[in-house]
Amino acid sequence: MHAFHRLYQQRKSISTKAYKSRGWKVKRCDFCRLAEQYCICQLRKQSNSRCSFLLLMSDDEVLKPSNTGRLIADIIPDTHAFIWHRTEVDEKLLSVIEDDKYQPFLVFPSEYAGERPRVFKQQPDVIDHNKIPLFILIDATWRQAKRIFRKSEYLAQLPIVSIESVITESVLAESAIECANPVNNSAEQVNTEQVNEKQHATVLNYDSKYQLRKAEKPGQLGTAEVAAKVLQLFGENESAKLLDLWFDVFSFRYQQAVKQTNKANPRAVENYQQYVSERKLK
């Protein structure tokens, strides 16, 4: 059980009403939150990253099966998870941010960072190599994220690492199709070659492969994708790759369960397992 699992159990226990969005009747694994027959828990491996993450989650995000922030906790051993509250600040959350062993960075798009003095689009020049980088990710809808950013004084002084997404026409076209046709139950044949080609292209750009929700803005990345980019920026290519491949596994199995046209990489599980065995990860 990791930090997200504990947070989920705690949130679920105080839930007064059942979570009733699409697919709520599905019997899900309590850990990966996928439909039981698509559970990926047995496949999970941890990286040996020396970075740390802190997920600052909106209350409802914790309960959403499509959440990808928790994939970070699956892969990165030192991951913390908290629910954001408007009126009270969790002392434990503050103690992590203030812990002397960490150097905290807030991950947030620079275009919304306003007049903040320390915003980095590349690896920051203020890295303290004696400390563990702690990346704080706001895991919420875009609207909620902006509110959390504005209303949390304890985030105000932190240097910001900004992951810019590249907006391409294909992403725009794809989100337009998504909007027009959110659920497609037709038994469409997946052309493996085409998908692989597309997946290859998206690795090179900062395009999102996050097909589980409608993008709130073009080119928007899922939380786990953002984390992979941050790891890459800090030179942790192996952990970035593992998280990226794990994201693909989750994305593929999630889409299998909801029976919409599966846009994820059909070779996701194979690719992930191959990488894990090559790197001899435990």
Q: Which residues bind Zn ion (CB under 5 A)?
A: 29, 31-32, 39, 41
Which CB atom, from 32 or from 264, has the smaller least distance to Zn ion?
A: 32
Q: How near is the Cβ of 32 to Zn ion at its closest, in Å? A: 3
Which CB atom, from 3 or from 138, has the smaller least distance to Zn ion?
A: 3
Q: Cα dist. 175→33, 195, 204 in Å?
A: 25, 17, 19
Which CB atom, from 32 or from 73, has the smaller least distance to Zn ion?
A: 32
- How many other C-beta atoms are found inside a 10 Å radius of the C-beta of residue 246? 26
Which CB atom, from 24 or from 188, has the smaller least distance to Zn ion?
A: 24
Angle at CA of residue 13, ends 9 and 16, nearest 5°: 135
Which CB atom, from 30 or from 59, has the smaller least distance to Zn ion?
A: 30
- CA-nearest of 177, 175, 196, 184 to 261 is 184
Q: How near is the Cβ of 254 to Zn ion at its closest, in Å? A: 12
Strand, coil or helix: 96: helix
Which CB atom, from 31 or from 206, has the smaller least distance to Zn ion?
A: 31
Cβ atoms of residues 18 and 240 within 8 Å: no
Q: Cα dist. 279→147, 199, 250, 272 in Å?
A: 40, 22, 20, 11
Which CB atom, from 32 or from 136, has the smaller least distance to Zn ion?
A: 32
Q: How near is the Cβ of 97 to Zn ion at its closest, in Å? A: 30
Residue with tokens 């497609």: 184
Q: How near is the Cβ of 81 to Zn ion at its closest, in Å? A: 17
Q: How near is the Cβ of 27 to Zn ion at its closest, in Å? A: 11
- How many other C-beta atoms are found inside a 10 Å radius of the C-beta of residue 157? 12
Cβ atoms of residues 176 and 104 within 8 Å: no
H/E stretch holding 86: none
Which residue in the shown chain puts its C-beta closest to Zn ion? 29
Q: How near is the Cβ of 28 to Zn ion at its closest, in Å? A: 8
Q: Cα dist. 63→10, 24, 66, 76, 114 in Å?
A: 11, 11, 9, 21, 31
Q: How near is the Cβ of 272 to Zn ion at its closest, in Å? A: 15
